[in-house]
Each structure stands twice: as C-alpha cells, then as structure tokens.
Amino acid sequence: MKIACLAGDGIGPEIMAEALKVLDALGLPIEVAHADVGGTAYKKHGHPLPPETLELCKASDAVLFGAVGDPSCDNLERHLRPEQAILGLRQALTLFANLRPATMFPGLEDLSALRPEVAREIDLLIVRELNGDVYFGEKAIRTLEDGRRQGFDFMSYAEDEVRRIAHVAFRAAQGRNKRLCSVDKANVLETSQLWRDVVIEVSAEYPDVALSHMYVDNAAMQLVRNPGQFDVVVTGNLFGDILSDQASMCVGSIGLLASASLGEDQTQYGTRGLYEPIHGSAPDIAGQGKANPMAMILSLAMLLRHSLGLEAEAARVEAAVAKALEDGVKGADLGGTAGTSELGDAVLARL
Ligand code: IPM
Ligand code: MG
C-alpha cells in the first residue's frame, strides 16, 4: 500500500507529523512518500501543484493532505495561489464526493457554540459535491462597456454530476439512519431546481431512504437550532463549503473535523481518495506547536477506512481520539493547554 503525504503550508507540517506518528504506531505495511504542495511548493518550484506532486498522487492509493494557504501568496495571480493546489487535485483526480462527518464527542458538549443539550444530538454527515458549481465555472473580473468593473462566476450543474453525488449520498444514508436531506436554493436558482429534480429521480432507486429537501438559508438556521434532526445532508460545492464550517463550530472546534474526498477510481484496496482536515493552514499560529492535530489524525482514520479497506484500524484510531478528548486532553482551541505533540502523544497512548 502506498500513500502520498502532502503536508503543505502553515500548521500543515506540524499536524501531519502527529498523524504520521499514529500511522507508524499501527505498524502497517504502508509506504509513505512526501511531496511539496501549496505556498511551500510555489516557493520551491514556482507552482502550488508541481507535476511531480500530481504524478505521485496519481501513483498512490491515497493522499494524506495537511493544509494550504499562505498570506504572502495572496497577491499572486489566482492560478498560482496555494488554494489552487487543492482545487487542482480535486479536479485532476476527479474527487467529486466530499464526506464531512460531524459528530459530538462525549465530554465536549460544553465547548460547543450551542447549548449542551442541543449539541449532544449532533451526528451528521455532510456529502458535498466537489467538482462543479461556481468553483469551476467560467470566472473573471471584466470591464463593462461603460467602464465599470464586474466580477462573475458561472454556476452550473449537469445532471450526471448531480446523479453521481446523489448516489453516494443515498448509499451513505443506507449505511446510517436512512434519512437524506438535500440542501439547495431551488426557490431562486435554476441550478438548484435541476439539482432537486435529479435528486428526486435518483431517490426512486432508494425506497428505504427518506428524502427531504431544504433551502440553504433554512438549513443554516436548522443546523444551529436543532442539528440532531440531520442524518445525511447532500449539497453542492459552495453550500457544502459553508455549512461544513458551520457544523464544525457546532461540534466545538474546526480542529476536530476530518474529510474524505473520493472519486470513482477503485484501487486494489478501496476507493482512491484524498483526506484532509476541513480547517485551513492557520498561519497565525503556525510554527508555535499549538495547533490541534485531531482533525488530521481523524483524516488518517478515514484514509485507512475508505482507501485501504482497514476498517478495524480506522475504528481504533477514532476510538483513541475520542478517548483522549473524553479524558479532558484539550488544546488551546478547546480552552485547554496541550500542545500539538502532546495531543498526538495522548492519542498514541490510547491506541
Ligand atoms: C475547504 C476549503 C477550500 C474550499 C479552499 C481552501 C479552496 O475551504 O476545503 O472547505 O473552499 O473548498
Ligand atoms: Mg471550506
């Protein structure tokens, strides 16, 4: 088994080191190859996603990804900015299905931005489409005839793009509590109307799953009012980006949420995918040993499960993280004092 390890920028290398400690401790026959990505790669190779990095990812069973983003690169042309590396990988590897689970960890109810009795009920999975929408449509800042500048981003979904993510979401719901909520803005957007029509068509193949629909503004409200009502949520790229950050704060910290980005490509062991925390590179705390590595470690667990078929090991890692949190081991993001390596060691001790 071979994984590509792209630590990236900011806190990426620090949290990656903790995930690799955990991987080492499992003693699995996995070859790990490292490559540059993001601002780090731009500074060394002149591009945030150098061809050799992409080649390594294509030749691996899975990609373990830290974070990208570097304020010193914010004024570069858009195609050279660090964020383009992750967008480029999602596109080049056709990683269209982004799974973002948000579950309350026992013992953290008081740290949620929500009341504990509301937060306790959170156990949901956001299935975010990752290859379409305004993210990848035609975009530019142009000058109109009257001299005004205008920015635009073309929003679209083709029916096959909606269908394939709908299937992923329905299957995920079958494996959970058999409820699927499709989030859109069909009262205003034609893109959303097609989304909704296609999700309803696909639902005919999943009579055991209860399908509901919700407008995205209402979903944002319901997510803080009563998050326990959600089982699986399926939505487009932009809405999923926003709702998944919101869900993380409901759980307590963005430092706790992992994600898997999956395509259709099957390897010998599972589905080829990319695994990353949903948080960014946090340049403000980079290099200080303060970052919470839990989301990174939980991303490794998702990698073991989905790409390498190692369910038992994945569950073991997740249990060790949950136990560390339950035992009160907390970093600064959760009001505690433990540093990055201390948090990693706490997980190791409970493996
Ligand atoms: C995420 C991030 C990315 C996104 C950025 C870094 C391009 O916010 O993975 O949620 O918008 O998809
Ligand atoms: Mg985001």
- Using DSSP's 3-state secondary structure scheme, residue 289 falls into coil
Q: Where are the alpha helices (DSSP H) in 277-333?
A: 294-306, 311-326
For residues 36 and 67, what is the distance between their CA atoms, to the nearest angstrom? 11
- The token duo for 295 is 């989301």
CA of 30 to the centre of ligand 2 (A): 29
Burial of 176-200, coded b for 16+ CB within 10 Å and e otherwise, reads beebbbbbbbbeebebbebbbebbe
CB of 111 within 6 A of ligand 1: the answer is no
> For 110-156, what is each residue's pLDDT tens digit?
888 899 999 999 999 999 999 999 999 999 999 999 999 999 999 99
By the 8 A CB rule, do 275 and 65 touch?
Answer: yes
Testing ligand 1's pocket by substitution, the residue of 65, 86, 261 carrying the most ligand atoms inside 8 A of its CB is 86
Q: How confident is the model at residue 104 (pLDDT cuts 50, 70, 90)?
A: very high
pLDDT tens digits, one per residue of 52-64: 999 999 999 999 9
**Which tokens belong to 156?**
């679209």
pLDDT at 102: 95
Closest ligand to Cα 246: 2
Q: Please state the pTM of the whole predicted model.
A: 0.94
Distance (angstroms) between ligand 1 centre and the Cα of 146 equals 34
231 is an active site residue = no
Given the DSSP bridges, would you call strands 123-129 and 97-103 parallel, antiparallel or unpaired?
antiparallel
**Domains along the sequence of the chain with CATH:** 1-96+257-351 (3.40.718.10)
Least confident of 2-11, 62-71, 242-251, 277-286: 242-251
Q: Is 269 marked active-site?
A: no
Q: Which helix (H) or strand (E) holds 248?
A: helix 237-251
- 327 as an active site residue: the answer is no
Q: Is the pLDDT of residue 253 over 90?
A: no
Q: For this structure, is 185 an active site residue? A: yes
Query: Catalytic annotation on 146?
Result: no
Task: Return the best residue to mutate from 90, 130, 153, 241 for the ligand 1 pocket (most ligand atoms within 8 A of CB).
Answer: 241
- What pLDDT does 90 receive? 95
Indicate which residue's Cα is closest to atom 7 of ligand 1. 83
Answer whether residue 296 shows pLDDT above 90.
Answer: yes
